[in-house]
């Protein structure tokens, strides 16, 4: 317990980078069309927890102290092996324009700028005006400009998925405010999500690192695959209403794709951009994967244990959507009655309250909490070989916070 109290506050270690995050995101999302501009930036107004960028930035700092790769194919990090201070990598990134405002001549500049006057930069088309990194020259030597941009890209992809998710889930609220779909309608919310993905892709391409582009592009596909697994549940469809050994693996695979893929592959990309060696890159990935699984298990548990007021969004929403998550799946193993309800997605009158009664009397919620804790511990174990730095302690602290969070 004493050790835990000594852990640093994660946010403090990357406070400067996090301070600029929202402003940078909004710059990445500037559009010449006033209503697109407004809707695209809508979810950057209500401050989210910014969990993913925080983890990416901490991973960047934690892996700075790790062994470097000698692989010269990794173009932004060539010669980084003997470059502990990151100066050569920084120079190389400058040469590549990783750190440049995105207002330079671009293939996107084929619009008539006279029609557009919102978010216009002094030098370029409003559609390509990406902000430079603030505080140039004074940045943290342990975090490269490309790693800061990666943190922003990760948040953009996450926010895009929320815009689409709220349409699919018919959500009325997010973070205590009206959801984008309820404020602007489904069409606008879907298009805004697509716009975020487009801008994330441009920023990603500007990192000039093919492996990192491949990782984050895979994440976008994984998010859709996870959402499909959730909507079309073949492990517990009408054809197969009995509890079976596919149920939990299917749920965990879905959870990886829907939540852990983004965190794990972003952690991997962060280590790659820093020029880390293979063992470090794999460890970063495993940390993110296990943390992401723990995070979603806790999310699914909170849907059962917290109120709407506490969550800032409707509680018990999963059952309403017909979704069986971990607490119910564990309860189902010992209460076969739940199978019928699962099979018809809790659609008959009384199904939801019956399911609630059975799950609350079972050990499903406790087993979910236990599984989340196991994953959080595995996340910590994954980075046990990292040199002891404050950033490593902060990553351990993030695993703690993930299982202790109440919203
Ligand atoms: C939140 O889950 C949603 C996700 C983690 C991902 C949703 C993915 C898609 C909609 C696929 C397509 C989107 C893109 C941009 C590729 P939740 O509904 O369980 O959580 P919530 O309570 O926060 O709504
Ligand atoms: Mg949702
Ligand atoms: Mg959803």
pLDDT for 100 equals 65
Pocket lining: 164 vs ligand 1, CB cutoff 6 Å: yes
pLDDT in tens, the chain (407 residues): 555 556 678 888 888 888 889 999 999 999 989 999 999 999 998 778 899 999 999 999 999 989 999 864 554 544 444 455 567 777 888 877 776 665 433 444 444 444 444 444 433 333 344 455 444 444 567 899 999 999 999 999 999 999 999 999 999 999 889 999 999 999 999 999 999 999 999 999 999 999 999 999 999 999 999 999 998 877 776 655 788 888 999 999 999 999 999 999 999 999 999 999 999 999 999 999 999 999 999 999 999 988 777 777 777 889 998 999 999 999 999 999 899 999 899 999 999 999 999 999 999 999 999 999 999 999 999 999 999 999 999 999 999 999 998 87
Distance 113 CA to ligand 1 centre (A): 35
Ligand 1, closest atom to CA 296? 19
261 CA distance to ligand 1 middle (Å) = 12
Alpha-carbon gap, residue 395 to 399, rounded angstroms: 7
How far is ligand 2, taken at its centre, from the CA of residue 173, in Å? 10
Rounded Cα distance, 16 and 20, in Å: 7
With a 6 Å cutoff on the Cβ, whether 169 touches ligand 1 is yes
Atom of ligand 1 nearest to the CA of 171: 24
Q: How do beta strands 177-178 and 173-174 pair?
A: antiparallel
The verdict on the CB of residue 197 being under 6 Å from ligand 1 is yes
Q: Is 276 helix (H, G, I), strand (E, B) or coil?
A: strand
How far is C-alpha 12 from the geometric centre of its chain's CA atoms? 20
The preferred substitution site among 40, 52, 161 for testing ligand 1, maximizing ligand atoms within 8 Å of CB, is 161
How far away, in angstroms, is 132 Cα from ligand 3 center?
Answer: 34
**Each residue of 229-266: b (16+ CB within 10 Å) or e?**
bbeebebbeeebbebeeebbebbbebbbbbbbbbbbbb
Distance, CA of 151 to CA of 55 (rounded, Å): 8
Residue 27 Cα to ligand 3 middle (Å): 27
Contact 18, 54 (CB under 8 A): yes
Q: Which residues contact 353 (CB under 8 A, 6 or more apart)?
A: none
- Among all chains, which residue has been given the structure tokens 């495993």? 286
**What pLDDT is stored for residue 140 in this prediction?**
66
Identify the nearest ligand to the CA of 259 by its number. 1
In Å, how far are 122, 152, 171, 200 from 118, measured between CA atoms? 12, 22, 29, 20
Nearest ligand 1 atom to the CA of 317 is 22
**Relative to the alpha carbon of 314, which ligand is closest?**
1
Q: What is the DSSP letter of 66?
A: S
300 lines ligand 1 (CB under 6 A): no
Most ligand 1 atoms within 8 A of CB, residue of 197, 223, 225, 327 to mutate: 223
Is any ligand 1 atom within 6 A of the Cβ of residue 313? yes
The predicted pLDDT at position 325 comes to: 95
pLDDT at 213: 97
The pTM score is 0.87
Containing 173, the helix (H) or strand (E) segment is strand 173-174
The complex's ipTM? 0.95
Supply the pLDDT for residue 6.
Answer: 65
Output the residue whose Cα is nearest ligand 1's atom 17. 165
């Amino acid at each position: 317990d004493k050790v835990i109290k000594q852990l640093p506050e994660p946010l403090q270690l990357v406070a400067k980078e996090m301070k600029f995050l929202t402003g940078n995101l909004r710059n990445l999302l500037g559009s010449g069309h006033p209503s697109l501009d407004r809707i695209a930036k809508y979810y950057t107004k209500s401050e989210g927890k910014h969990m993913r960028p925080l983890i990416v930035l901490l991973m960047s700092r934690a892996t700075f102290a790790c062994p470097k790769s000698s692989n010269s194919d990794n173009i932004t990090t060539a010669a980084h092996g003997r470059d502990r201070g990151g100066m050569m990598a920084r120079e190389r990134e400058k040469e590549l324009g990783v750190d440049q405002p995105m207002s330079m001549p671009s293939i996107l500049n084929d619009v008539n700028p006279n029609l557009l006057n919102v978010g216009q930069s002094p030098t370029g088309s409003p559609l390509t005006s990406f902000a430079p990194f603030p505080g140039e020259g004074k940045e943290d030597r342990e975090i490269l400009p490309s790693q800061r941009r990666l943190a922003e890209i990760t948040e953009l992809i996450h926010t895009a998925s929320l815009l689409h998710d709220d349409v699919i889930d018919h959500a009325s609220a997010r973070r205590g405010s009206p959801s984008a779909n309820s404020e602007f309608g489904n069409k606008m919310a879907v298009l805004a999500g697509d716009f975020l993905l487009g801008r994330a892709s441009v920023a990603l391409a500007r990192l000039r690192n093919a492996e990192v582009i491949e990782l984050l592009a895979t994440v976008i596909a994984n998010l859709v695959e996870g959402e499909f697994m959730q909507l079309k549940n073949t492990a517990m469809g009408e054809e197969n209403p009995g509890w079976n050994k596919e149920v939990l693996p299917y749920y965990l695979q879905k959870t990886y794709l829907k939540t852990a893929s983004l965190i794990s592959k972003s952690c991997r990309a962060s280590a790659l951009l820093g020029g880390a060696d293979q063992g470090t890159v794999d460890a970063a990935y495993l940390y993110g994967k296990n943390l992401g699984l723990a995070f979603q298990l806790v999310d699914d548990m909170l849907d059962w244990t917290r109120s709407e007021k506490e969550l800032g969004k409707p509680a018990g929403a999963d059952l309403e959507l017909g979704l069986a998550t971990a607490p119910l799946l564990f309860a189902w193993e010992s209460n076969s009655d739940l199978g019928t309800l699962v099979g018809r997605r809790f659609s008959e009158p009384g199904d939801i309250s019956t399911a609630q009664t059975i799950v609350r009397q079972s050990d499903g919620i406790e087993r979910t909490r236990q599984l989340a804790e196991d994953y959080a511990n595995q996340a910590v174990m994954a980075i046990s070989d990292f040199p002891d730095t404050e950033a490593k302690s902060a990553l351990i602290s993030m695993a703690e916070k993930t299982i202790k969070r109440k919203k």
